[in-house]
Amino acid sequence: MSSPASGKKRHGKLVSQVITLAHGGGGKAMRDLIDDVFIEAFDNEALNTLEDQARFSLSDLQQHGDRLALTTDSYVIDPLFFPGGDIGKLAICGTVNDLAVGGAKPLYLTCGMIIEEGMPVETLRQIVASMAQTAAQAGVMIVTGDTKVVDKGSCDKLFINTAGVGIIRTGLELGADKAQAGDAVLVNGMLGDHGAAILGARGDMQLSTDIQSDCAPLHELIDVILQAAPHTRFMRDATRGGIASVLNELAEASRVEIEIVEAKTPIRQEVKGFCEILGLDPLYLANEGKLVIVVPKEESDAALHAMKQHPLGAEAARIGTVLPGGRPGRVTMQTVFGGKRIVDMLVGEQLPRIC
């Protein structure tokens, strides 16, 4: 372990193999857990001082832009480890992406953990290591945190909350109410991978798939898009509820009709097959590394071209258009078969059909 820059050397060493209520009790066991697992992995100046709050210099923040962006998200995924990621990676990517889609440069994250007693320390270490690695990749620091341990059965293994702050670049105004007739609707790649990977990994339906979650921090790709298409109107990561939900929110907020073309909507064959078998609609499956982007028509080619140069946008596609004179708030799809249908908001959770 590297010596913290603050000069405070941490010595706590976790002896137990499993997390017990004592590790949330505020005493030595908790201190050992924080030192040995969290400080060890996250290791940065703001965190290592172990004050009750992280402190930032306002003038440093102002170098990045003129507005502060603040977001929070809780991660309760089952299983904790899945093809393409784990809850730790997700907890970083999700919050980083929520900041970045608003045009903010993500800077600092918090990490709150609620752990069910009995969790193997080794499992927690793996998850924390994955958080540290993803945070480094995303260029953010985890600067303060909190740990609670609850009785068996009071939570499902591990819940993580991360809040994040970022700074929005001066002059940038992205919003769901900014789509205009004629604008192009783009996505940065294959849709529904995360949702299908999680359902597959739960193993309930004994379908073995090779589908990997698309979980990834998108801040770099977003920078690329904003450079290529400086008048970008809107971006959102299409997480729960899939792109259908994002498009509906967009159509509603901008009072426009959006039409997507099924044949242009990139969905992996495996995901399509998975959905066919279970009676699910991939438009509603969660993504953790996919954006819906709205740009003026004139900047659409540039945005697409730029995205395709980036590994997280190699399969980017223009999937639709903001219709001139359509019905406000409506999302429709030209089906592969030549028909037209409404793509509505999902009611409740998608449940597999019986036959």
Partner 1 sequence: MKYVDEFRDPEKARVLLKEIEQLAEQIHQRIQRPVYLMEVCGGHTHSIFRYGIETMLPACIELIHGPGCPVCVLPMGRVDDCVALAQDSKVILTTFGDAMRVPGSKKSLLAAKAEGCDVRMVYSPMDALGLARKNPDREVIFFGLGFETTMPSTALTLLQARREGITNFSLFCNHITIIPTIKAVLDSPDLKLDGFLGPGHVSMVIGNAPYQFIAEHYKKPVVIAGFEPLDILQSIWMLLKQLAAKESKVENQYSRVVPDKGNRVALDAISEVFELREFFEWRGLGSIDHSGVKMKQSWADYDAEAKFVVPAIKIADPKSCQCGEVLKGAIKPWDCKVFGRACTPETPLGALMVSSEGACAAYYQYGDVEKLEQHRISLQELPA
Please report, as ranges, the residues that interact with partner 1 according to CB under 8 A.
Answer: 204-206, 269, 272-273, 276, 278-279, 281, 327, 330, 332-333, 335-342, 344, 347-348, 351-355
Q: Which residues pair with 159 in a beta bridge?
A: 114
Nearest to partner 1 of 42, 274 (CB atom)? 274
Q: Is the dihedral of CA 237, 238, 243, 246 positive or negative?
A: negative
Nearest to partner 1 of 120, 279 (CB atom)? 279
| Lookup: tokens for 89 | 């990676």
Nearest to partner 1 of 15, 355 (CB atom)? 355
By the 10 Å C-beta count (0-12 exposed, 13-18 middle, 19+ buried), 53 is classed as exposed
Task: Give the Cα separation of 149 and 141 in Å (integer).
Answer: 24
Tell me the closest approach of the beta carbon of residue 321 to partner 1, in angstroms: 16
Are 174 and 230 a contacting pair, CB within 8 Å? Answer: no
Tell me the closest approach of the beta carbon of residue 342 to partner 1, in angstroms: 4
Tell me the closest approach of the beta carbon of residue 333 to partner 1, in angstroms: 8
Nearest to partner 1 of 9, 327 (CB atom)? 327
Alpha helical stretches, state H, the chain: 28-33, 40-42, 45-48, 58-62, 87-100, 121-138, 193-201, 219-228, 242-254, 269-278, 297-308
Tell me the closest approach of the beta carbon of residue 343 to partner 1, in angstroms: 8
What type of residue is 130?
A: S
Tell me the closest approach of the beta carbon of residue 327 to partner 1, in angstroms: 6
In sequence order, what DSSP letters do the residues of 202-213 get, joined into one string?
A: T-TT-----PPP
Nearest to partner 1 of 15, 354 (CB atom)? 354
